[in-house]
């Protein structure tokens, strides 16, 4: 897409729900299927108030939502109890707007906001090459595993505070809405 005069990265507001849903439906569509699983996940997490409101971030171009990133509450279950963390998912950009580096801008904004808000750890299940650019590293070598069978290189963790993983070993637990994916 050309002709974008203004790209704004901001927190989700009331009234953004339909635009956010449309982004996920389009971004995750493949083989003739819409991205309903991801769109439904966002709706379920919103309905459960399962994320810090400031960590649902949209990209808006000339008044249209073209990207969305959601970071929800999670935990790492350790032998001595639950350690709070965040889970990044999903991240979506409307097809045709990737050239604006929309995903990168959403990531940088959300990660900075999460760190400023006092969060210490974040996990993500995604493409290693993409998420490594933002400091994520494979979680299993650091003693953090995923509750689902996933490729170990695709499950990653990020210390938002240096040393936040010191002594933390366990299983990452996402909100139950992820179980429906």
**Res 171 pLDDT > 60:** yes
Q: Tell me what the mean pLDDT of segment 116-137 comes to.
A: 97
Least confident of 49-53, 97-101, 124-128, 131-135: 97-101
- Give the model confidence (pLDDT) of 142-166 as tens digits: 999 999 999 999 999 999 999 999 9
pLDDT confidence tier of residue 3, bands split at 50, 70 and 90: low
**Res 78 pLDDT > 50:** yes
- Mapping DSSP onto H, E and C, the string for the chain reads CCCCCCEEEEECCCCCHHHHHHHHHHHCCECCECCHHHHHHHHHHHHCCCCCHHHEEEEEECCEEEEEEEEEEEEEEECCEEEEEEEEEEEEECCCCHHHCHHHHHHHHHHHHHHHCCCCEEEEECCHHHHHCCCCEECHHHCEEECCCCCHHHEEEEECCCCCCCCCCEEEECCHHHHHC
What is the model's pTM?
0.94
pLDDT at 33: 75
- Give the model confidence (pLDDT) of 36-52 as tens digits: 999 999 999 999 999 99
CATH number of 7-180: 3.40.630.30
Q: Where do the structural domains in the chain lie, given as residue ranges?
A: 7-180
% the chain with pLDDT above 90:
90
């Amino acid at each position: 897409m050309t002709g974008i005069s203004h790209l704004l990265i901001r927190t989700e507001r009331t009234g953004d729900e339909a635009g956010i849903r449309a982004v996920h439906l389009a971004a995750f569509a493949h083989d003739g299927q819409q991205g309903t699983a991801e769109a439904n996940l966002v709706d379920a997490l919103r309905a459960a108030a399962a994320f810090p409101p400031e960590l649902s971030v949209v990209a808006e171009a000339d008044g249209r939502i073209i990207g969305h990133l959601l970071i929800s509450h999670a935990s790492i279950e350790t032998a001595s109890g639950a350690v709070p963390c965040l889970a990044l998912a999903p991240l979506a950009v409307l097809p045709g707007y990737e050239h604006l580096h929309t995903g990168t801008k959403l990531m940088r904004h959300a990660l900075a906001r999460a760190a400023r808000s006092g969060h210490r750890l974040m996990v993500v299940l995604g493409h290693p090459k993409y998420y490594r650019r933002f400091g994520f590293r494979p979680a299993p070598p650091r003693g953090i595993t995923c509750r689902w069978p996933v490729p170990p290189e695709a499950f990653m963790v990020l210390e938002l505070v240096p040393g936040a993983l010191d002594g933390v070993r366990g299983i990452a637990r996402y909100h139950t809405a992820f179980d429906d994916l």
